[in-house]
Amino acid sequence: MASSVTTLYDFATELLAEAVTALDTTAARAPASQFVSYALPSLDCPEQLTVDVRSLGHDANRPTSPGMSRGHLTQYGHVTNLAMFVVTITRCVPVVDGLSGALPPSSEIQAAAGVILEDGWAFWNHVSGIIKAGTLWGGRCTTIYRDPGVPVQGQGGSAGWAFPMRPVIDGYRP
C-alpha cells in the first residue's frame, strides 16, 4: 500500500496509542505525558511516553545483493525504505541526595526497578502480539525489524526503556 506525506506521523501516533494500551495493563498505568516527538525527547521527570522517528534509511531487499548495493541502486535493483521509530518510556526514579551525596534507599531503587521492568515487559509482549496478528500499522508493513529494547538512564531522575522498531514502508512521489 502506498504511503503519503503524513505516513511517518500517522505511524508514530498509532504506535503511541499501542504503547498506551500496553502500559495501561501495568500497575503504574501509562504516564500522563504522552506525545510524538520530532527528535530524541528530553528525558526528565515527570514520567513520559514518547515516539519519535530517529532515522530514515533504506536496505536492499534481495539477500543476494552485495553489501555495497546501497550505493549502487541502479545496478543492484530495488531497495526498501526503513524508518526507525523509537518508543521511549521513562519513569521518575530515586537519585543521589544533592546536598549530602547519600544514595537513595535500596528499597526505593528496587521499587522503581519493578515499575520499569513491568513497563518493558508489557510493551514488548503487546507489540509482539500485534505484529504477529498483522494489525500494527493496519497490516501495511509486512516486514518489521525489532531491535532489542535498551534501558534508558535519563537526566533529572528518570529511567526507563527505548524500543527501536524499523518497518519497511513504501515510498511516495510528492
Return d(Cα 136, Cα 117) in angstroms, integer: 23
Task: Evaluate the CA torsion angle 11, 81, 121, 106 in order and state its sign.
Answer: negative
pTM, full prediction? 0.89
Domains of the chain: 7-169 (3.30.2000)
Task: Please report which helix (H) or strand (E) contains residue 9, including its range.
Answer: helix 7-23
Going residue by residue through the chain, which has 174 residues, state the pLDDT in tens, using 9 for 90 and above: 579 999 999 999 999 999 999 999 999 999 999 999 999 898 888 899 999 999 998 775 555 555 555 555 555 556 778 899 999 999 999 999 889 989 999 999 999 999 999 999 999 999 999 999 999 998 888 789 999 999 998 778 999 999 999 998 988 888
* Unique residue bearing C-alpha cell 498509532: 14
